[in-house]
Amino acid sequence: MADDFGQTASYVMSWILLIIAGLFEIGWAIGLKYTEGFTRLVPSTLTVAAMVFSIVLLGVALRELPVGTAYAVWTGIGTVGAAVLGMVLFNDPATIGRLVAIGLIVSGIVGLKLLS
């Protein structure tokens, strides 16, 4: 029984790490805009750090999670987050088509989670 709890806790922790990795992916995707082609030291350093944290956390999460599911969720979080923040921070277009596409990505992420 205790072993089942340990496996469940490890699986849940892997999902938590994957979500955090996705948040760092959003950070580095948005950070790229602020680096101005890696010509600004502080934004460039923070962006590279976010890249490293994102990849490392993804790698740790992959110990427990299927690679296809984890990678799709990781990139999905990054894609949705970057698209939404692009609309908020950089006035990217917020058309109905883009919002529907973001909704489809979110539904795919949820579907992969529920089926894993």
Render pLDDT for 11-54 as a digit per residue (tens, 0 to 9): 999 999 999 999 999 999 999 999 999 999 999 999 999 999 99
81-91 pLDDT tens trace: 999 999 999 99
The model's confidence at residue 106, banded by pLDDT at 50, 70 and 90, is very high
CA-CA-CA-CA torsion sign (109, 84, 20, 34): positive
Phi then psi for residue 92, to 5 deg, are: -60, 150
**Side-chain half-sphere of 116: how many Cα atoms within 13 Å?**
22
The crossing angle, in degrees rounded to 10, of helices 67-90 and 96-115 is 150
Query: Are the CB atoms for 21 and 61 separated by under 8 Å?
Result: yes
- Going from N- to C-terminal start, the domains of the chain cover 10-115
- Alpha carbon dihedral 81, 85, 91, 95, in 10-degree steps, equals 30
pLDDT of residue 112: 84
